[in-house]
Amino acid sequence: MKRVALVPLALFLAGCLVGPDYRRPEYPVPTSFRGDEISPATPGSFGDVDWWRFFEDERLVELIRTALSENYDLRIAVARIIDARAQFVSARSFLFPTIGAGATASYTRFIGSSGQFDPQLNTLSNLFEGQGGFDLNYEIDFWGRIRRTAESARGQLFASEWARQTVVSTLVSDVARTYFELRALDEQLEISQQTLASRAGSLRLVQLRQQGGVASLLDVRQAEVLVENAAETIPILQRQIEQKENEISIILGRNPAPVERGRPLEQQIALPPVPPGLTSPLLERRPDIRQVEQDLVSANAQIGSAKALFFPQVTLTGFGGVGGNVFNNAAFGPFGILGISPSVTVPLFTAGRVQAGVDSAEARTQVAVFRYQQTIQQAFREVADSLVGYEKNRQFRIQKEYLVVTLRDAVRLARLRYQGGVSSYLEVLDTETRLFDAELTRVLASLNERVAVVQLYKALGGGWQSAPSAGPRPPISLKVP
C-alpha cells in the first residue's frame, strides 16, 4: 500500500514543472541549396563522408590526427566539457537530500556554585554533554526549480560537447587548407627553380650569340631581366613556405618545425561535383547549429527556474543519533535522538526582484532563439558560397590550364622566330613573362579549387566524426549513396 501511495505523489511532483518546455523554433528551411539547383535532391550528402576517407593523402591524415590529439584549442574545449559536466552534477545534486555526520561534546565545571538546582543532585559542580548522529537537509522541489536548473546545466553540458565537435571540424578543415597552401607554395617554388634554370641556359645562348655578332647587347639585357624575374621569386616563396610550416606546426600543437610532405597538390581530392544532399539534415549535421540549440535549451530552462521563485519553498531538516549526559559524575544515557523540522518560506515582498529574474531569463531565451536562427541562416549561406566557389574556381582552373598550354606553344614559336631572325628577343621576353605568371596563377587556381572543396565539406557539416585508431586506411570511396 505504501508503494501505491507513492505513485500519485511522484506523478504530482514530476508534473509540477513551472516554465515552458523546450520546443525547437520554426525556421523556413529552403527546399534546395542555392548553387545546386540543377542537381537532383538526394538523401546522401558530401558532408556524410568521414574525413579520414575524404582526404587521400596519408601524410595529411596523420597531420590531422596529430592536431586532434595535440591542438590547444581542442584541449581547451575538452576542459570546458569537464567543467560543464561538473556544473551539471552539482546542479542535479540538489534534487537529493544532503546528509552529514557529526558529533559534539561539551564539558562545563562550575566553581564556587552553591545553589540547589535539584534536591537529588545537590549542588551542580560539573556537566558533560555529548551527542552524535546524522543530520539531513532537503528542499522538496514542488515547482521544479531545481529540476529546471539541472536541465539548464545539462543543456550547457551538451552545448560544450557540440562546441568541441565544432572545434574538431574547424581543425580538420584548417589543417587541410594550410597543407594544401604549403603544397601549392612547393609547386610554385619548383616552377620558379625550373624557370630560372631554363632562363639561365637561354641567357648563356644569347651571350654566345652576342659574342658571335648575331645578337645585340639589348638581347642580353632582356635575357638577364628574365633570369632576375625568376630568381627574385625564389626567396619570397622560400620565406612563405617556412612561415606556412610554422603555421601548421602551431595548429598541431607543436613548436615551429619542418612539415613532412605527401602527395603533390594535383593529387589532393581531385573530385567530380558531388551532391550536397537535402537541406533539412543540415540542421542535425552541423555541430555549430547543435551547439546553439543546446544553448537555447539551457536558456529556456532558466525561465522555469526563475518563475519557481514566486512559489513557496519547502525545506525539511532533521537529525537522528544518540547522546548522553553526565551530572556530577552521574551518567544518564545513552539515549536516542530523532527530530524533523519542516519549514515553508513564502515570498511576500521582493521589490520586483523575482519578476526581474523572469524577465531577464525570457530575454536571454529570446536572444538564444535569434542566435539559433541566425546560425542556421549563416550555415545555408556558407553552403551556397562554397558551392558557387567550387564551381567557379573549377572553371577558372580549367581556363588557366588552357592558357598555360597556349603560352608554352607561344614561347616555343617566339624562340624559333628569334633564332631565325624574324623577331627580336623582346617577343621572347614578353611571352616567357606571361607564361611564368600563368603557371604560378594556375597553381593558385588549383589550390583555390581544392580549398573550396574543403570549405564545402565543412559547410555541409563534415569533419567532426570520430576517427578510428591509426592503422591501415579503408578503401577510399567518395560515392555518396
From the list 51, 157, 38, 4, the residue with the least C-alpha distance to 461 is 51
From the list 10, 12, 20, the residue with the least C-alpha distance to 306 is 20
Angstrom CA distances, 345 to 139, 154, 313, 342, stand at 11, 28, 5, 10
Contact (Cβ atoms closer than 8 angstroms) between residue 252 and residue 62: no
Query: What sign for the dihedral angle of Cα 149, 373, 25, 35?
Result: negative
- Residue 98: strand, helix, or coil: strand
What's the CA gap between 99 and 274, in Å, rounded?
61
Would the pTM of this model clear 0.95, i.e. be above it? Answer: no
CA 151 to mean position of chain CA atoms: 23
pLDDT single digits (tens) 269-288: 756 566 777 778 888 889 99
* Ranges of residues in the chain whose predicted pLDDT is under 70: 1-15, 37-44, 110-125, 270-274, 328, 333, 466-481
Print burial letters for 370-393: b (CB count within 10 Å at least 16), e (below 16).
eebbebbeebbebbbbbbebbbeb
Contact (Cβ atoms closer than 8 angstroms) between residue 425 and residue 418: yes
What's the CA gap between 13 and 4, in Å, rounded?
15
pLDDT single digits (tens) 25-80: 888 888 777 777 655 556 667 778 888 888 888 999 999 999 999 999 989 999 99
Specify the length of the chain in residues: 481
